[in-house]
Amino acid sequence: MANHRLRALFCWRKLTKRDWAIAFVGFTTIVFIYTLFFDYRTDQASSLDLSDNDVVDLTLLHNAEERGAFCLDGSSPGYHFKKGFGSGSSNWLLHIEGGGWCNTIESCSFRKTTALGSSNFMQRQVHFAGILSSDPSQNADFFNWNKVKIRYCDGASLAGHPESELKNGTRLFFRGQLIWEALMDELLSLGMSNAKQALLSGCSAGGLATLIHCDDFRDLMPKQATVKCLADASFFLEEQDVLGKRTMESFYHDVFHLQGVAKSLHKDCLSRVEPSKCLFPQEFIKSIRTPLFIVNPAYDFWQIRNILVPDASDPHNNWRQCKLNIHSCNPDQIEILHGFRNSLLKALSEFQQIEDRGMFINSCFVHCQTWAAETWHSFNSPRINNKTIAQSVGDWYFNRNAVKLTDCPYPCNPTCYNMDFTRG
pLDDT tens for residues 88-128? 999 999 999 999 999 999 999 999 999 999 999 999 999 99
In a domain, 424, yes or no: no
- State the CB neighbour count (10 A cutoff) for residue 281: 25
**Owning domain of residue 165:** 2-406
Q: Residues of 212-237 as b/e, b for ≥16 C-beta within 10 angstroms?
A: bbbbebbebbeeebbbbbbbbbbbbb
367 as an active site residue: the answer is yes
Question: What's the Rg (C-alpha) of the chain?
Answer: 20
Residue 101: per-residue pLDDT: 98
Can you tell me whether residue 79 is helix, strand or coil? strand
Per-residue pLDDT tens over the stretch 20-44? 444 444 444 443 443 334 333 333 3
Task: Give pLDDT, residue 3.
Answer: 36
Q: Does 85 map to a domain?
A: yes
> Within 10 Å of residue 174's Cβ, how many Cβ atoms?
25
161 a catalytic residue: no
Q: What percent of the chain clears pLDDT 70, i.e. is strictly above it?
A: 87
| Confidence (pLDDT) at 170 | 77
Q: Are strands 78-82 and 146-150 parallel, antiparallel or unpaired?
A: antiparallel
User: What stretches in the chain show pLDDT beneath 70?
Assistant: 1-52, 167-169, 424
**CATH number for 68:** 3.40.50
Q: Is residue 327 part of a domain?
A: yes
The active-site residue out of 201, 204, 363, 392 is 204
For residue 412, being part of any structural domain is answered with no
Rounded to an integer, what distance in angstroms lies between the CA atom of residue 327 and that of residue 339? Answer: 17
Which of the following is catalytic: 232, 300, 311, 407? 300
Distance set, CA 242 to CA 57, 59, 97, 339 (Å): 44, 44, 29, 11
246, part of any domain: yes
Closest CA to 285 of 219, 227, 354: 354
Overall number of domains in the chain: 1
User: Is residue 110 one of the residues assigned to a domain?
Assistant: yes
For residue 418, being part of any structural domain is answered with no
Catalytic residue among 80, 95, 127, 367: 367
The phi, psi pair for 346, rounded to 5°, reads: -65, -40
pLDDT at 168: 61
Question: Quick check: is 240 in a domain?
Answer: yes
